C-alpha cells in the first residue's frame, strides 16, 4: 500500500520550530512561527482563560456530545464580537469549529457544494494555509493583486481591477485585519469601495479573521467586516480564537454564514453542519467553553480585553522601535513601513537566500518569504537585530 507514496513536502513554517530549538546559539532570535510572544519570549495563557478553565473544571457536569454545532453560547458571543453587540443577527448562523482552519475548511466545502463551478480569489500573497485548504475542496482558485513589494502598501486600484474580472458568483477571500504575511490592511474607505464592487459584481465575500484585537483594537479590526455586512446580501466568515484568546492548541474557531434571507441561512447552516459531520464530526469543547465563559462574564471580559490590548500595544511599540533602529542602522527611511503596518507580521523584503544567511550568520529565524513575526523581536536588542538585517539585505537608498 504505502510504497505508492512519495515523501510529503515538510511545512516550512513548522520546520523552523525544530531548526530554532536545535540551534545552540544563545542570542538566537525567533521571528518565524505566528504565535504571540511576551518580552520573555513566552506565549502565555491569558489570565482570564485560566480563570475560566478553573470554573469550567469546577462546574462542568457532563462531557456528553454537543453535536457538530458545538457550544451555542460560544458562537452567539463570537457573532457579537465580530458583527457588534447591536447587529441584526436574523440572517446570521454560526457553528463552532476546530480553529480558524476548521472554519475555513467547512465553509469551503459548503461553497463547493453550493457552487462547484465557482472560482475562489485569494490575495497575492496570502497565508500559505489557504492554498492547501482550497485544493482539498476542489474549488478553482485565482489570485488578485494585493501587495506592492516596492511600497509595502496595498495595491488597491490593481486589487479592484483584478476583482472586476471575476465572474458573478465567484468567491473573494479577504483577510479581516492584520493581513498575513504582509501586515498591510485596507482602510475603512477602501473596505466601503470594495463592498460596492462585491455587490455590483455579485461576488461572495469570504472573510478570514484570525487577529481581531491585535491590529488597531477589537472594534476597529472588525470595522471592515461590519461595513461589508452592512452592504452585501450574502457573505461568510471564518473566525479564529487561537491568537486573540491564546488558545492555539485547544482549536477554537467559528464558521459564520450570512444568507440573503433567514430561510436561506438556515438551509446553508444545516448543510454546513453536514460538512462538519463528515470532516471531523464535532469540534472539541474545552477551549470554546472557556472563551464563552470569558465573554459572558463582565469581570473576565474586562481582564481579557486589557490583556489583549497590552499585547497589541507591545507589538505597536516593537514596530516603532524596530523601524527606528532600522533607520539608524541604514540611514534610510526605507523601513518606515514596519511602523505603519499592523498585526503580528510584516514582509521585510528579504529573498530566500538572505533569509538563509540571516539564520546561518546571525541566528535570526524568519519564514522563507521574508515574513517576520514582530512579537518575536527582542525589545532590548533592536539595534543589534536591525544591524544584522541591514548587513544581509544591503543598505537601501537614503
Ligand X SMILES: Cc1ncc(COP(=O)(O)O)c(C=O)c1O
Binding site for ligand X (CB under 6 A): 34, 99-101, 127, 129, 175, 180, 208, 210, 240, 242, 248, 253
Q: Is 63 a catalytic residue?
A: no
**Rounded to the nearest whole angstrom, what is the least distance from the CB of residue 373 to ligand X in the complex?**
10
CA end-to-end distance (rounded Å), the chain: 60
CA dist 270 and 255 (Å) reads: 12
Which residue, 129 or 396, is less far from ligand X as judged by CB? 129
- Cα–Cα nearest to 151, from 337, 321, 333, 324: 337
Give me the residue whose beta carbon is nearest to ligand X: 99
202 is catalytic: no
**Residue with Cβ nearer ligand X (98 or 321):** 98
Position of cell 533592536?
A: 382
Residue 251 Cβ vs ligand X, minimum distance, rounded to whole Å: 7
* Min dist. Cβ of residue 208 to ligand X (A): 5
Question: What is the secondary structure of 293-312 as a DSSP string?
Answer: HHHHSHHHHHHHHHHHHHHH
Rounded to a whole number of angstroms, the minimum distance from the CB of residue 49 to ligand X is 15
* Catalytic one of 127, 238, 339, 350: 127
Active-site choice (52, 166, 210, 269): 210
Strand order in the sheet with 140-145: 92-97, 253-258, 235-240, 204-209, 171-175, 119-124, 140-145
Based on CB atoms, which residue is closest to ligand X, 208 or 303? 208
Is the previous residue joined to 181 through a cis bond, with omega within 30 degrees of 0?
yes
Catalytic residue from among 30, 170, 185, 208: 208
208 belongs to the catalytic site: yes
Residue 127 or 365 having the CB closest to ligand X? 127
Q: Which residue has the cell 436561506?
A: 264
User: Considering beta carbons, is residue 141 or 327 the nearer one to ligand X?
Assistant: 141
Pairing between strand 204-209 and 235-240?
A: parallel
Residue 127 designated active-site = yes
Q: What is the DSSP letter of 151?
A: T
- CA 266/CA 35 separation, integer angstroms: 35
CB of 248 to ligand X, least distance (A): 6
| Residues catalogued as catalytic | 127, 208, 210, 243
Amino acid at each position: 500500500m504505502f510504497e505508492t507514496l512519495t515523501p510529503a513536502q515538510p511545512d516550512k513554517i513548522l520546520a523552523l520550530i525544530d531548526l530554532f530549538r536545535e540551534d545552540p546559539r544563545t542570542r538566537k532570535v525567533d521571528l518565524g512561527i505566528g504565535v504571540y510572544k511576551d518580552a520573555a519570549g513566552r506565549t502565555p495563557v491569558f489570565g482570564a482563560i485560566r480563570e475560566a478553565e478553573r470554573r469550567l473544571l469546577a462546574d462542568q457536569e457532563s462531557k456528553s456530545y454537543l453535536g457538530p454545532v458545538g457550544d451555542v453560547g460560544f458562537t452567539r458571543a463570537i457573532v457579537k464580537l465580530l458583527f457588534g453587540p447591536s447587529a441584526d443577527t436574523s440572517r446570521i448562523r454560526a457553528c463552532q469549529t476546530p480553529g480558524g482552519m476548521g472554519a475555513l475548511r467547512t465553509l469551503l466545502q459548503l461553497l463547493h457544494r453550493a457552487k462547484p463551478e465557482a472560482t475562489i480569489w485569494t490575495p497575492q500573497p496570502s497565508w500559505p494555509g489557504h492554498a492547501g485548504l482550497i485544493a482539498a475542496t476542489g474549488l478553482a482558485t485565482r489570485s488578485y493583486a494585493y501587495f506592492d513589494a516596492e511600497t509595502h502598501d496595498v495595491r488597491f486600484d490593481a486589487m479592484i481591477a483584478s476583482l472586476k474580472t471575476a465572474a458573478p458568483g465567484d468567491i473573494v477571500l479577504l483577510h479581516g485585519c492584520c493581513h498575513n504575511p504582509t501586515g498591510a490592511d485596507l482602510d475603512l474607505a477602501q473596505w466601503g469601495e470594495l463592498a460596492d464592487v462585491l455587490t455590483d459584481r455579485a461576488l461572495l465575500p469570504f472573510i478570514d479573521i484570525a487577529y481581531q484585537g491585535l491590529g488597531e483594537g477589537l472594534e476597529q479590526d472588525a470595522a471592515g467586516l461590519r461595513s461589508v455586512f452592512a452592504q452585501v446580501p450574502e457573505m461568510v466568515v471564518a473566525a479564529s480564537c487561537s491568537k486573540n484568546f491564546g488558545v492555539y492548541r485547544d482549536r477554537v474557531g467559528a464558521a459564520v454564514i450570512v444568507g440573503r434571507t433567514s430561510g436561506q441561512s438556515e438551509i446553508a447552516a444545516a448543510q454546513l453542519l453536514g460538512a462538519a459531520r463528515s470532516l471531523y464530526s464535532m469540534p472539541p469543547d474545552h477551549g470554546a467553553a472557556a472563551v464563552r465563559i470569558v465573554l459572558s462574564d463582565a469581570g473576565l471580559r474586562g481582564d481579557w480585553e486589557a490583556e489583549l490590548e497590552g499585547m497589541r500595544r507591545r507589538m505597536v511599540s516593537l514596530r516603532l522601535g524596530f523601524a527606528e533602529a532600522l533607520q539608524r542602522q541604514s540611514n534610510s527611511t526605507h523601513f518606515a513601513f514596519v511602523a505603519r503596518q499592523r498585526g503580528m507580521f510584516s514582509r521585510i523584503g528579504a529573498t530566500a537566500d538572505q533569509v538563509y544567511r540571516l539564520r546561518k550568520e546571525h541566528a535570526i529565524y524568519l519564514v522563507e518569504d521574508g515574513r517576520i513575526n514582530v512579537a518575536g523581536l527582542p525589545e532590548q536588542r533592536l539595534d543589534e537585530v536591525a544591524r544584522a538585517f541591514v548587513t544581509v539585505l544591503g543598505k537601501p537608498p537614503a
